Amino acid sequence: MEPTKSDNGDVLHEFFPFFKVYKDGRVERMMPMEKLKVPPSEDAEVRSKDVTISTEPAVLARFFAPRGTGPAERLPVLIYIHGGGFSIGSAFHRVYHEYVSLLVARARVVAVSVEYRLAPENPIPACYDDAWAATRWALGHADGNGPDPWLNEHGDFGRVYITGDSAGANICHNVAVRAGRAGLPAGVRIAGMALVHPYFGGTDDDKMWLYMCPENGGLADPRLKPPPEDLARVGCEKVLVFVAQKDHLRGRGLWYREELKRSGWGGSVEVVEHEGESHVFHILKPQCDKALDLKDKLVDFLRGNAVGKA
């Protein structure tokens, strides 16, 4: 992710394939996403709606719930954080809307998919702060007095899960560390965290992360490279890490598993690897056999079941 000086004299920085920054401050995304957004829907299996987490700063989320829920039925709560190099993507993007809908229908969970502010216009740590705000908003329903009646009545806050892919997986880890530091409301238990192809530094992508986070601690920044003291505070009981054989981030996912074990954290951690696949293949090729296998294993995890090998 080398920052380059473009032949175009108006371009200051270029981080392929994410964005360019011009001398006048304009940001041009190389993969425009706005036209790929879809509204919430009322499908046969899942209904969704958009909710406001905060007005200042503006933080939104898309809420998903399965149909056919009984009057007294309580369902696990899923916090989903999308990927995209901290700079592209959206909870409202068709791919993520459909992906979270599938998880909700198959695992029978309710989900809060976070629409965090994107860098570089909103420098890091905006994404971390927004994800934490959305998580606190969701967990604030545990006492039955939150702003969303459906979540008050049907959320099972003894079974909370956090998951995301790539940059979103990095953000998930940081949310779990904050939860471990701050503690959780009465009756709340984060049962598990699933990290799909997580980013934890150690690659050329670090140059872009450092650019997007002007107030950083260098390559040892704890949000980029979690230290043992943060890993020991991860506020959940079990972690599932997905890696892909051809992914340039594969080694960092394996590193995270080993460092989590060494930190003294008291939970259980497991890795699932998909051979012959590259980064976020489950998003780019959602119907391929190994993408379906990844979804099956993630659904099992969200159901509280054991996860088999790939």
Instruction: Calculate the dihedral angle through the C-alpha atoms of 237, 180, 295, 246, rounding to the nearest 10 degrees.
Output: -110
* Catalytic one of 82, 154, 279, 282: 279
Distance CA 72, CA 89 (A): 36
Distance CA 310, CA 106 (A): 19
101 is catalytic: no
* Catalytic one of 129, 247, 274, 282: 247
247 is catalytic: yes
3-state helix, strand and coil shares in percent for the chain, rounded to the nearest 5: 30, 25, 45
Omega before residue 226 within 30° of 0, cis: no
Q: What's the distance, Cα to Cα, between the start and end of the chain in Å?
A: 30
* Catalytic one of 166, 173, 205, 221: 166
Distance CA 37, CA 90 (A): 8
Extract the tokens encoding 134: 């959305």
* E strand segments, the chain: 11-15, 19-22, 27-29, 46-55, 58-66, 75-81, 110-115, 155-165, 190-196, 238-244, 268-274
Which amino acids are annotated catalytic? 166, 247, 279
